[in-house]
Amino acid sequence: MKKILPVIVALFLIHSLVWAQEFEGQSAPVRVSMIRDTEPPQVFWVYRNEGRPNSAGRIGIDIRVLDQAGIKSVTINGRERMDGGVKDSVGFAVEFYNEDEVYVNVVDNFGNAKEKSFIVKAQAATLAGSKIARKNYALLLAVNDYADSSFPTLTGPIQDATALKNVLIKKYGFEDANITLIKNPKSDDLDVAFEALRYKVTSDDMLLIFYAGHGWFDQDAKIGYWLPSDASKANKSRWFRNSTLVENIGAINSKHTLLIADACFSGGIFATRAVTINNATAEISNLMKKTSRKAMTSGKLTPVPDNSVFMKYLLKTLEENEYEFLPSEDLFDSVRMSMKNNSETKPAYGEIRNTGDEGGNFVFVQKK
């Protein structure tokens, strides 16, 4: 028996090598996991050409399917679109008539199934051609250096904020004049920046707020904080409370506000602790009509690392996005799936409490 075991092991390794080589040349890597995945695939869809029918009266839709374990099969309205694949992300360009009902069935490599259906709705209103003079504003706050040596110096925030600014300008139509990037802001700088936004941003505008730096959550008092560069460990008077942040966001009369926070203990600003995703990306125009106040954070009530995996995949998703419209829910879900097998921290997404969210969504719109 002792002589036979090495032979069996060798044959198994040779078989595994041959099996892996069969997939050489595939655009996506083969994913091998010793832990059974129990989560079903994710299904998203967005309208092309702003939901307007083409000359044949049909409406173009991009359907995207995601699953970290790899997608086995996809069926759209009974037609098999994919069978036996190994990709963890795949898209389909389809066309339907107005009021058609669409059924999407997906199975991953562990047998987890997802069924999704929606009714096609022609979009009467357009976004890019709308008469609304919508502007995109961004406030980017990044703290690397702290006056109090009790707080460790960080290396990533300013670099990440600069990269975010560049992709917003290059790909999503943000103008440089409407982006405020503050490096190593002090407590007073935050107050002044939020006060300026109150008088600048209108009810038609989009506002993106980004913070990267140290954060803190007082478990006894249940109070969360951002730490500006002049924060002192001995005195919390210059710490920026989450409650103050929420009040400032509620006071800014934007149509849509999206907060992205890459900081420790940044999850205390949500309306609920159990944050879920609606995946309601079917009708972009409707999402844009309803007011939204959403937040996306790198962690809930747990520390996050300086070398941010969250920012790595957030920037990657924004840079590589091929869709004309990218709702913040889709952005978050892509980041969450990428972090699942590459980080111990779990990002969070949801409505910001008591700020007037009405179920809309912040949508990143690509430049024409």
The domain total for the chain is 2
Residues 169 and 194 occupy one common structural domain: yes
Residue 34 lies in a domain: no
Q: What is the pLDDT of residue 306?
A: 60
Residue 19 lies in a domain: no
Residues 109 and 152 occupy one common structural domain: no
Q: What is the pLDDT of residue 132?
A: 55
Lowest mean pLDDT among 14-23, 94-103, 319-328: 14-23
User: Nearest Cα to 224, choosing from 264, 196, 191?
Assistant: 264
Average pLDDT of every residue of the chain: 80
**pLDDT grade, residue 290 (50/70/90)?**
confident
Residues 50 and 156 occupy one common structural domain: no
**pLDDT grade, residue 344 (50/70/90)?**
confident
User: Nearest Cα to 352, choosing from 218, 139, 138, 209?
Assistant: 209
Residue 222 lies in a domain: yes
End position of a domain, from candidates 94, 119, 144: 119
Residues 96 and 144 occupy one common structural domain: no
pLDDT digits (tens, 9 = 90+) for 107-148: 988 888 888 888 887 764 444 444 457 899 999 999 999 999
How many CB atoms within 10 Å of residue 318?
20
Q: Is the pLDDT of residue 2 over 60?
A: no
Q: HSE-up of 49 (CA within 13 Å, CB side)?
A: 14
For residues 61-95, one letter each, b for 16 or more C-beta atoms within 10 angstroms of the residue's C-beta and e for the rest, the string is bbbbbbbbbbbbbbbbeeeebbeebebbbbeeebe
The rounded distance, in Å, linking the Cα atoms of 284 and 261 is: 25
Lowest mean pLDDT among 22-26, 51-55, 245-249: 22-26
Which domain range does residue 100 map to?
42-119
How many CB atoms within 10 Å of residue 194?
19
Q: What is the pLDDT of residue 84?
A: 67
Residue 179 lies in a domain: yes
Lowest mean pLDDT among 8-12, 151-155, 207-211, 342-346: 8-12
The CATH number that applies at residue 314 is 3.40.50.1460
Tokens of 80: 């098999």
End position of a domain, from candidates 62, 88, 119: 119
pTM, two decimals, is 0.67
pLDDT digits (tens, 9 = 90+) for 208-240: 999 999 988 887 877 888 999 999 999 999 999
Span 1-23, mean pLDDT? Answer: 41
Sign of CA dihedral 65, 122, 351, 178: positive
Q: What is the pLDDT of residue 167?
A: 97
